Structure 1
Amino acid sequence: MTDSPASAHASTPFEDPEYVAAVVDILGVIAYGEITAFERLVDDAKLAPTLTDKLDLGAMAAKEFGHVQPLLDRIAALGHDPVAVVEEFAAPFDAFHAHTAPRDWLEGLVKAYVGDGLAADFYREIAQFLDAGTRDLITESLEESGQSDFVVSRVREAIAADPRVGGRLALWGRRLMGEALTQAQRVAAERDSMTTLLAGTFESPGVSSMDLAALGRMFTRLTENHSARMGELGLEP
């Protein structure tokens, strides 16, 4: 592998402007993902059938929003305007969510669990190839907001009450998997910095290299994790 001129003599990864651009983009896309997760949990709370459900979803939404500021602060510390960076990801995210708008409360819950879970897995995987500080920040930002147990219990209760619900939600979950992977790949392909990262061309201290074999294993793990989540919901993957 040939070093880029910037990285060949870098004593830290942040001396490489291409690496900084990759980190800024990843933090920006995660931040916008957290913002949209917050918004969708608020919308789900409006449709919740009981006050208890509304309160639980509201608390989860607040936790999601709390993940945003540390990401923005880190982008600013790297010399970029955090609002401008995050806004660059608005169009693809908004298009994805418009294309996968849930028809009811249960579909919204499955989307929050399956769709957000897949996105979190994807960025955790990428974080393993970044410096320790960025990796830790991303991991903390993607921590569960408590929705797993909540969603699993509500979806399983709905299936127990009407088994036909399971078939519909299983189809929905499969669609979300395909749409989410396509969206993640599209976002990565449209950003030169992310393409460089996924291609494994950074060679700086504290930064691991990703090759095609590692990329293949990553997508295998993403698929396996999706199947496990579907199983937890009582749905056929």
Structure 2
Amino acid sequence: MSQPEPGAVVDLLGVLAYAELTAFDRLAEDARLAPTLTGRAALARMAAAEIAHHVRLTERLTELGADPAAAMAPFTSALDTFHESTRPSTWLEGLVKAYVGDGLAADFYREIAAFLPEPDRDLVLEVLDDTGHADFAVREVRAAIEADRRLAGRLALWGRRLVGEAITRSQAVIAEHDGLAELIITGTGDLAGVGRLIDRITSAHTQRMTTLGLNP
């Protein structure tokens, strides 16, 4: 497989760096919705892990000769629009968003990471590693649904909305950045390969919804 263009690597690290920064912001904000101090502390610890990931990415961008702020700037509008349009109104909606929405994005970035050379491949996989949010979200959401079955339908609709918005924004980002599009197409081999990549991501999303106790 041919080496990706340096600009494509900077683009990928840039969008991830901004994603980690917004993840920190969101987790810190969601922590204030927590119904218990235990939940609040858990999300605060996860937020700290996300900002540490952001720092690792910006350090690598600097090593590559890129300005981190400039590398992140092209992606702020798309990510901010997504988060503004999917702002959770409850503690549970915030957990579903982090588990389902962020999980789908992480799957996508892991797929792309396979096309990168070292050390960037390992760096991307490192910052995408779960900070404990997945297990925490599953426990909290499933417990809430067991206590009130009426929540399942509303949260399932919320999960589907999140994924629809995430896919729309991801497509827009790729369409606006030729380097990322070429990285994906070259890495998967052809459009059929891109289709298989999408199938894998969709399958993982379905499994996450099932794990939460929600209909995909």
Report the counterpart of residue 36 of structure 1 in structure 2.
Answer: 22
Report the counterpart of residue 153 of structure 1 in structure 2.
Answer: 139
Q: Unpaired segments of 5 or more residues in structure 2?
A: none
Once structures 1 and 2 are overlaid, which stretch shifts more, 167-176 or 129-138?
Answer: 129-138
Q: 2:47 & 2:55 partners in 1: Cα distance?
A: 14
Q: Deviating runs (4+, > 2 A) in structure 1?
A: none
Once structures 1 and 2 are overlaid, which stretch shifts more, 68-77 or 160-169?
Answer: 68-77
Aligned match of 1:213 in 192, 198, 203? 192
* Paired residue type of 1:88: P
Post-superposition CA distance 1:129-171 (Å, at most 9, x none): 1113211110001010101111001101110111010000001
- Residue 137 (structure 1) aligned with residue 123 (structure 2): yes
Q: Once the 2 structures are TM-superposed, how far is the Cα of residue 196 of structure 1 from its aligned partner?
A: 1.8
Q: 2:102 & 2:29 partners in 1: Cα distance?
A: 15
**TM-score scaled to structure 1, two decimals?**
0.88
Q: 2:41 & 2:185 partners in 1: Cα distance?
A: 44
- Residue 22 (structure 1) aligned with residue 1 (structure 2): no
Post-superposition CA distance 1:166-216 (Å, at most 9, x none): 00000110111111111111101101211221231xxxxxxx553212111
Report the counterpart of residue 175 of structure 2 in structure 1.
Answer: 189
**TM-score scaled to structure 2, two decimals?**
0.96
* Paired residue type of 2:198: F
Report the counterpart of residue 231 of structure 1 in structure 2.
Answer: 210
Q: 1:107 & 1:21 partners in 2: Cα distance?
A: 36
Cα distance change on mapping 1:162 and 1:87 into 2, 3 Å: same
Report the counterpart of residue 74 of structure 2 in structure 1.
Answer: 88
Once structures 1 and 2 are overlaid, which stretch shifts more, 139-148 or 67-76?
Answer: 67-76
Post-superposition CA distance 1:84-106 (Å, at most 9, x none): 11122111110111111112111
Cα RMSD after superposing both structures:
1.2
Report the counterpart of residue 85 of structure 2 in structure 1.
Answer: 99
Report the counterpart of residue 68 of structure 1 in structure 2.
Answer: 54
Report the counterpart of residue 117 of structure 1 in structure 2.
Answer: 103
Structure showing the higher helix proportion among its residues: 2
* Paired residue type of 1:85: A
Post-superposition CA distance 1:50-105 (Å, at most 9, x none): 11111111011101111111111111111111111112211111011111111211
Q: Unpaired segments of 5 or more residues in structure 1?
A: 1-6, 8-12, 201-207
Report the counterpart of residue 173 of structure 1 in structure 2.
Answer: 159
Mapped contact 2:188–2:194 kept (Cα < 8 A): no
Aligned match of 2:148 in 143, 162, 165? 162
Q: 2:156 & 2:49 partners in 1: Cα distance?
A: 28
